Amino acid sequence: MTHVRNETVELSLNQATTRPYPLTETAEAAMQAGIRHIGLWIEPVEEIGIVRTRRLLADTGLSVSSVCRAGFLADKGGADLRAALEGVKRALELSREVGSPMLTLIAGGLPAHDRSIQHAEVRLRAAIEEVEPYARDAGVRLALEPLHPLFVGTRSIVTTIAQALRVTADFPADTVGLLIDAYATSWDSRFHDDVLAAGPRIAGYQVSDFALPLPVPENMNGRLFPGDGEIDLAALTASIRHAGYSGPIEVEIFNEDIWKLPLETIIKRTVSSFNRYVGEPLNESERQPA
Amino acid sequence: MTHVRNETVELSLNQATTRPYPLTETAEAAMQAGIRHIGLWIEPVEEIGIVRTRRLLADTGLSVSSVCRAGFLADKGGADLRAALEGVKRALELSREVGSPMLTLIAGGLPAHDRSIQHAEVRLRAAIEEVEPYARDAGVRLALEPLHPLFVGTRSIVTTIAQALRVTADFPADTVGLLIDAYATSWDSRFHDDVLAAGPRIAGYQVSDFALPLPVPENMNGRLFPGDGEIDLAALTASIRHAGYSGPIEVEIFNEDIWKLPLETIIKRTVSSFNRYVGEPLNESERQPA
């Protein structure tokens, strides 16, 4: 099997997009579709173990673009914080073992007793300071991901690229970077300026599409295939690349309806929507394995 | 009937909070509950007419804190834009006639053919430039309201206080101000700094509370009574007041479940939640009309 390298934009399949399917099946199907990169989630890797995961990656030729996700630190103190920090360290080790260049770091929300985002930022910085040497030792970059403002209280006090840059400013860019998700940040009138300001701190980039209404009971699961919503992914992606990011671009979709589709259908639509709305289209010969 | 003035914080009932009830009933019930200010919506005023509205305000002693809402300009061009601008001018005239100090201005979303927020800001500024002299002549302040980032594509390209300040910077603060809504902006790590930066440009302030999940089919209608969600309204309000704003504070709630309650129940809960979580509690003697 040979791959013709697409010099411009390479798709990575984030495993969330095919969440109901086992990692082994997803990896095989991705390979069959000509995909060369995968974003792994911790739980499915732990399910089959590091050794089998590495063998699967070798067999399918997939490289790991990221491991998702650890953190949820900003709302915690005491024993809860210690446990969460240990979780980040374990996730860094797992990321190293599967050959991932980075680990997605989610800030965490606000504790009930203190709704100050400023205080939470102080706690978050202190927590990153503790795990940053482990990231350096592991050779795995922590990638702080701003989430959509909807989730400020429950999942991430970090909601903009500018804020993520502020939080990470005192850390070396090669150990603490940013993961920029188009769905979470496309609303921001500062997107293009802040992406350029982020420059070499951009560790990764994820795409999906946005439309209202968000579904219940889980408002998070309204993500769509590129092109099915209102985000100008071509413009956002151009800024990301202009800022110097040249790594794989992950398609990461949370959507109950999409998860009901057959695995091959999800992957086929991932590739076609990515090629049409995010990356330069591949030639047919490039898209199929030889 | 006498009112003891609360020198610190005065509640205004935004009519959206009692949306299913006629303006006449809402105004009477608000007066009975000791409320002294009301935020009017254009449609119910037009329904009973200016003369009856003015008489109702005189009879109930209610002062108008705002008129909601006009705008939806950023996505438009040509004849659509002309019509929307005429709508703003008519709303300014209506605001003047009912004695409102301000008119809420909603930016508008993104047109299908151009998803650039930057381009939309250019159109919005040009549109404000056209209506600003009318605001000056009417003695009614245009109050640009940042909406929650959820609605960037459909309702408002202006999603942060900082952006609203940028858009309005070239206009006189006494004719083009900001309406700051806690629900729409509390997620912003820059809230306190940007509110202080806004200072005398703050034309109004609205409160309600936030929690997930947002309801379907209308994600907008998940607003809660103060204290029923996760926003630290006391802290946000302190910043608003520290920035120099001393006008009435509107409770503006969109919520299908709340709209099903009896009018008196909605108003009672509005007053009690406001007093507990936003303003200094009123004495019983202050809350009841004499």
Question: What is the ipTM, given to two decimal places?
Answer: 0.92
What residues in A contact B159, CB-CB < 8 Å?
187-189
pLDDT value of residue A156: 98
Rg (CA), chain B: 18
Q: Read off the CATH number of the domain in which B197 is found.
A: 3.20.20.150
Whether B137 is covered by a domain: the verdict is yes
- Whether residue A252 lies inside any domain: the answer is yes
Hey, what are A267's tokens? 């992957």
B187: closest CA of chain A, how far (Å): 6
The whole domain housing A94 covers 11-280
The alpha-carbon gap from B16 to the nearest alpha carbon of chain A, in Å, equals 21
Omega within 30 of 0 (cis) for the link into B217: yes
Residue B27 within a domain? yes
Q: What is the Cα B93 distance to its own chain's centre? A: 18
Chain B hits for A118, CB-CB cut-off 8 Å, are: 189, 192
Chain B residues in contact with chain A using a Cβ-Cβ cutoff of 8 Å: 110, 115-118, 121, 148-154, 157-160, 163, 186-192, 210, 212-219, 230-232, 235
Q: Is residue A6 part of a domain?
A: no
The tokens of A29 are what? 């199907």
Nearest-neighbour CA in chain A from B1: distance (Å): 40
Residue A91 C-alpha from the chain's centroid: 14
Nearest to B159 among A151, A154, A187 (CB): A187
- The minimum CA-CA distance between B236 and chain A, rounded to whole Å, is 10
Chain A hits for B191, Cβ within 8 Å = 117
From A235's Cα to the closest Cα of chain B, the distance in A is 8
pLDDT confidence of residue B9: 72
Contact flag A154-B212 (C-beta cutoff 8 Å)? yes
B130-160 burial, b if ≥16 CB within 10 A, otherwise e?
Answer: ebbebbbebebbbbbbbbbbbbbbbbbbbbb
On whether residue B48 sits in a domain, the answer given is: yes
CB contact under 8 A, B231 and A116: no
**Which residues of chain B neighbour A226 with C-beta distances below 8 Å?**
none
What is the pLDDT, as a whole number, of residue A7? Answer: 45
Measured between CA atoms, how close is A115 to chain B, in angstroms? Answer: 6
CA-wise closest residue to B201 among B185, B181, B184, B178 = B178
In a domain, B5, yes or no: no
Contact across the interface for B187 and A159, Cβ inside 8 Å: yes
- What is the nearest CA distance from A111 to chain B, expressed in angstroms? 10
Residues of B whose CB is below 8 A from A232: 115-116
Q: How far is A81 from chain B (nearest CA, A)?
A: 21
Contact between residue A204 and residue A164 where contact means Cβ atoms under 8 Å apart: no
Count interface pairs A-B at CB distance under 8 A. Answer: 95
Subunit contact A230:B188, Cβ cutoff 8 A = no
Contact A157, A116 (CB under 8 A): no
CA distance B187 to B276: 21
- Answer whether B150 sits within 8 Å of A116, measured CB to CB: no
Which of A160, A190, A213 minimises the CB distance to B216? A213
Number of domains observed in the structure of chain A: 1
Residue B4 falls within a domain, yes or no? Answer: no
Q: Report CA-CA distances (Å) from B158 to A62, B74, B128, B155, B214.
A: 41, 9, 13, 9, 21
Best of B122, B212, B224, B237 to mutate (most A CBs within 10 Å, chain A):
B212
Residues in A lying within 8 Å of B, measured between beta carbons: 110, 115-118, 121, 148-154, 157-160, 163, 186-192, 210, 212-219, 230-232, 235
Find the CB nearest B215 among A148, A149, A216: A216
Between the CA of residue B130 and those of B96, B101, B104, B108, B123, what are the distances in Å?
18, 19, 16, 16, 11
**Which of A181, A187, A239 has the highest number of chain B CBs within 10 A, making it the mutation to test binding with B?**
A187
Tens digit of pLDDT per residue, chain B (290 long)? 344 344 457 999 999 999 999 999 999 999 999 999 999 999 999 999 999 999 999 999 999 999 999 999 999 999 999 999 999 999 999 999 999 999 999 999 999 999 999 999 999 999 999 999 999 999 999 999 999 999 999 999 999 999 999 999 999 999 999 999 999 999 999 999 999 999 999 999 999 999 999 999 999 999 999 999 999 999 999 999 999 999 999 999 999 999 999 999 999 999 999 999 998 643 444 444 43
Burial class (CB in 10 A: 0-12, 13-18, 19+), B126: exposed
Which chain B residues have a beta carbon less than 8 Å from that of A152?
186-187
CA distance B190 to B188: 5
Q: Is B2 inside any structural domain?
A: no
- So what's the pLDDT on residue A9? 72
Q: Are B185 and B229 in contact (CB under 8 A)?
A: no
Instruction: Point out the residues of chain A with pLDDT beneath 50.
Output: 1-7, 281-290
Chain B, nearest residue to A110 by Cα: B230
| Residue of A104, A196, A152 whose CA lies nearest to B189 | A152
